[in-house]
Structure 1
């Protein structure tokens, strides 16, 4: 896997290390990024199910009103 080198504010990284309980700055940032990606996938899965249900409901024939 390719690696990218970035610079971050030290206080930000230390706070991430404390919150994530990880001792390595690189590991702490990796945990945060992986969590962010996983959360995005979970959100997509939930919204996709909702969208699918709405499409199915819209496709059902409507009873005549009147």
Structure 2
């Protein structure tokens, strides 16, 4: 896998390390990024299911009104 080098504020990285309970800055930031991606995938899955059920509801023929 390709690697990327970035600069981050030291206080930010230390806070991530504490919150993640990880001793390595690299591992802490990687854990946060992986969690962010996983959360995005979970959100996509939930909204896809909800959108699908809404589309199925809209697709049903409605009784005439009026």
Runs of 4+ in 1 over 3 A off after TM superposition: none
CA RMSD of superposed structures (Å) = 0.7
What residue is the counterpart of 1:24 in the other structure? Answer: 24
Counterpart Cα distance in 2 of 1:15 and 1:64: 60
Q: TM-score, normalised on structure 1?
A: 0.96
Q: TM-score, normalised on structure 2?
A: 0.96
Q: Specify every segment of 5 or more residues in structure 1 that has no aligned partner in the other structure, as ranges.
A: none
Counterpart Cα distance in 1 of 2:43 and 2:50: 11
What residue is the counterpart of 1:34 in the other structure? Answer: 34
Q: Specify every segment of 5 or more residues in structure 2 that has no aligned partner in the other structure, as ranges.
A: none
